[in-house]
Structure 1
Amino acid sequence: MTATTTRHDTPTSAAELAGAREVLGRLESAFGESVVGQPGLRRSLLVALLAGGHILLESLPGLAKTTAANTLATLAGSTFARIQCTPDLLPTDITGTQVYDARTGEFRTQLGPVHANVVLLDEINRSSAKTQAAMLEAMQERRVTIGGHTHALPSPFLVIATQNPIEQEGTYPLPEAQLDRFLLKELIDYPSAPDELAMLRGFTDRTLRDPAAAAPVLDVTTVRRLQDVAARIHVSDAVLRYALTIVAATRDAATYIGADRARYVECGASPRAGIAFVTAARALAVLEGRDHVLPEDVRELRHVVLRHRVLLHFDADVDGVRAEDLIDAIVDSVTAP
């Protein structure tokens, strides 16, 4: 008897890749009409969208985090919800609650803003630990429980959370368990001088498009199809072992980078890091128009996948040692296939 090949096992075809690359090219072009520069931010958002993961954005104020999230949701033809996190925000303000209806004498379920395709959690570290915990089920299980009943979240579902690295008063640092649920963490720097000039010109002559005025390039059905294409990108055993070795090296840093530098590492990456490498690398391959993952894809993703998963001792901050520096040293010590 011949075994039936499931769609999950079907290799990505050249036609599917060409179609995906064409659609994504239009999406990237349209994105640039509202967000000038910031190529790293654009790339990470697209990787997260294709991989079906969540992303944490960290930067100083005014560097287009909210604009980028709104633009992506609009262009993807997706529903969008922005949640401004504050210390008095309650879990039910995000997930929803049951409301008593005096006309019927019964309780009815009122869904919260988390029930959207793209959810922006602005300044997530300003919400309490209890409220942050309410997002764990939503981010991991793609569902929420209200009044004992489970409600599935829409597909696709992407959480884009932001935090400010310098305003720490009145903030609640994200616990490691929640950080680990983010597929990627992107640090956004100031734009280059030419990009900032182009942004200013676009603002003054009104050619910089308002995200709300943009016409969708995709729809949710197309996004799901692109995610399916990414999920079927081939990953060789050699690349899997390469990613796994990098993740394992973060847990045994002394063997790879020496005890002097390894003393800054408090905790290595969890098994989710390996999964993140594979899913994100597949999405990156689609963006590059390839039907297979290269070791270079894993290397390129090292910072966004590991910077929030490799935890450092306090003395690393005192000595000016960044997580990215240690990650680079670890990856350089692992031989690529």
Structure 2
Amino acid sequence: MKIIYNEGNDLRDNFVFRGLEDSSYDLVPSALRTKNNKLNDFIGNDFILSEDMSVEDAIKRGFIDKEDVPEGLNEITIQRDKKGKVINWGGGKIVCDDGYFQVKKELYVLFKFLNFADRIGLKVTDDFEVRNNIHNYMEYNPKWWPNEKFREVISLAQHYGLPTRFLDWSYDYKSALYFALKDIVEKPLDKDGVIWALNYKLFENVNNYGPFYSKLHFYRPEYNRNPNLQAQKGLFTFIVDDVNYLFKKSLDSRIIDERNGDREEDQYWFTGQHAFVSNVHVPEDEFLFYCIIIPKDEKPNFLKDLYREGYSEEYLFPSYDGAVKAMKNRIKLESFFEDK
């Protein structure tokens, strides 16, 4: 597979890449997916969120029935569990939104991860405010999410399988291609794969200069702390949102909306410090995204070629575990070709 466009220009100069086993998958972070969202799997029964809202809003959102409300009561406090089920309600005063509820669930998972990792001596974060809330996580209330204090913690959690708002990318298209192909040794070969290519160079200086600001951010953790990420040449993207508003559109849709100026969330893009206006200019001979389909029947051949070029588990996961996984998967791949 060659990654070129426009008569020989190389996508590797300006793009980062993300490989997915199924071409129907959207660019939606794991914590925000409608299907196969595993966030609740990491949240215990101790998660109970109290929210204040008007009785009218609570009835509209289906939290309470109108006939159950005492006459003259205008505001209530509800308590919801991790699945959003109302377990108790009483008097209250302020309206809360689904976005706030979602952020609180994500913070719960991240603080638990930070707590467990820190207790066994793993490097997580030195930020005083974050560490000070390890045992008081429900008291931490950011206005924008994800914020700078949590980028390192989120990148670690994301890399090791916790649902977050980050999306994984790679500077190396062959690393991305590996992740689009690796599951064929375990799963039926019935889906086309895909490599997404995102023109990160167009965003490189947007958030650093002038009055303009894009909600899309790129974050590369310290490679010296994570040999897997270094081997995979990995980085992450995320979109910063007001915590009160929940948007589940795919990354490509939101970026294109931002560029075109027809954002559904325009009314929430203004604060006292920033006017959130995109300054992303796309030249006529360039694109924001490419979507490269990998035919399912070609997946085994591509994976075999990657193994030959050193893109296999022992190199992308440089550890004893990676070496063992490589041994197993090579045998499975050989068996696949023998059966075919």
| Band the TM-score falls in, shorter-chain normalisation | under 0.3
Task: From the two aligned structures, give the one with the greater helix fraction.
Answer: 1
User: TM-score, normalising length from structure 2?
Assistant: 0.24
User: TM-score, normalising length from structure 1?
Assistant: 0.24
- Bigger Rg, which one: 2
